[in-house]
Amino acid sequence: MQQFLSLTPEVEAAIRQNKPVVALESTIIAHGMPYPQNIETALRVEATVREAGAVPATCAVLDGRFRAGLLPEEMEHLGHAGNTVPKASRRDLPYLLSRGLDGATTVAATMIIAQKAGIRLFATGGIGGVHRGAAETMDISADLQELARTDVAVVCAGAKSILDLGLTLEYLETHGVPVLGYQTSEFPAFYTRSSGLSVDYRLDTPEAIAQLLRAKWAAGLSGGVVVANPVPGQYQLDPGIMEQAIEQALATARDQQIKGKAITPFLLAQVKQLTGGDSLASNIELVCHNARLAALCAVALCGEPPV
């Protein structure tokens, strides 16, 4: 792996000394937001992780190498390059590595880098999932399969609300991925705290989450865990307005025949426009909220297990 994996000295030292580390994705930098808001948000998320006692490790592919931890100039590079940087999921990694190219990592690709680096906690906005209309399109995010195979816990505000949340939960259940609700029994819907769907288990402290993770992996039960952390109440959006915006965005995507990996950033951009920017503001706050919880869980996981 030394041929393909590079860690910043800070991240490498933290992992070697069993200090808490939180992985962060880079699609939010290259594809999720305009410059310079993307860089400002990425730096704020890293600062949130530090304030909660952990080391941030923003992940990407740069010059054909997995990177866990980015230098400021590398983050600026991704932020300036934007959509010209390929959006990298599991299937894209062999090509990027073999050609010495850059890639902004999705949830799936970030999980892969995190596991290879020895990082157990990962904070993101929302996981991908089963898209609406998947019975015809078979459009299912690679994030779900990665959760079934990769030993990383993903702290998120549920799945993106542009998806079919019910089918997403069914897929996770089929593949044995536990869905935990942090201080909630209901699966959050990204921009809103409620979906009407239940999580598998409610846990109310980072220590309880860490205890479950420790038991799962110590018992040889491979695969990830979803830690669903609802958006703070003051930043959630009106469910009715959000659903109307999503339906309109989906109709526009169908009219323009937007498909594949382009569909999620397209829909999120449309929803941002239709909500007058409110969805982006909510997105930023929930990512920071998730980063803090992930850091607290990482701290608990690195501590002494209860007797």
Q: What is the pLDDT of residue 305?
A: 64
Instruction: Assess whether pLDDT exceeds 80 at residue 113.
Output: yes
User: How confident is the prediction for the chain on average, in pLDDT?
Assistant: 92
Of 182, 172, 206, nearest to 295 (Cα)?
Answer: 206
Task: Look up residue 39 and give its two tokens.
Answer: 């860089």
Q: How confident is residue 10, by pLDDT bands cut at 50, 70 and 90?
A: very high
Beta bridge partners of 200: none
Task: Look up residue 170 and give its two tokens.
Answer: 């069914």
pLDDT tens for each residue of 260-280? 767 777 777 777 777 777 778
Q: What is the pLDDT of residue 273?
A: 76
Contacts of residue 13, defined as CB under 8 A and 6 or more positions apart, other chains included, come to 19
Q: In the chain, where are the structural domains located?
A: 5-302
Q: What is the pLDDT of residue 136?
A: 76
Contacts of residue 298, defined as CB under 8 A and 6 or more positions apart, other chains included, come to 20, 21, 22, 54, 120, 121
Instruction: Assess whether pLDDT exceeds 90 at residue 64.
Output: yes
Instruction: Assess whether pLDDT exceeds 80 at residue 254.
Output: no
Q: Identify whether the C-beta of residue 279 lies closer than 8 Å to the C-beta of residue 4.
A: no
Rounded-to-integer distance, Cα 103 and Cα 87, Å: 6
Q: What is the pLDDT of residue 127?
A: 96
Q: How confident is residue 232, by pLDDT bands cut at 50, 70 and 90?
A: very high
Instruction: Assess whether pLDDT exceeds 80 at residue 250.
Output: no
Rounded-to-integer distance, Cα 226 and Cα 149, Å: 13
CATH superfamily, region 5-302: Indigoidine synthase domain (3.40.1790.10)
Rounded-to-integer distance, Cα 21 and Cα 118, Å: 9
Beta bridge partners of 140: 130
For the chain, give the number of residues: 307
Q: Respond yes or no: is residue 160 known to be catalytic.
A: yes
Higher pLDDT, residue 266 or 56: 56
The catalytically annotated residue of 25, 46, 74, 146 is: 25
Q: What is the pLDDT of residue 304?
A: 64
The catalytically annotated residue of 46, 74, 146, 160 is: 160
Three-state SS annotation for 146-215? HHHHCCCEEEECEECCCECHHHHHHHHHHCCCCEEEECCCECCECCECCCCCECCEEECCHHHHHHHHHH
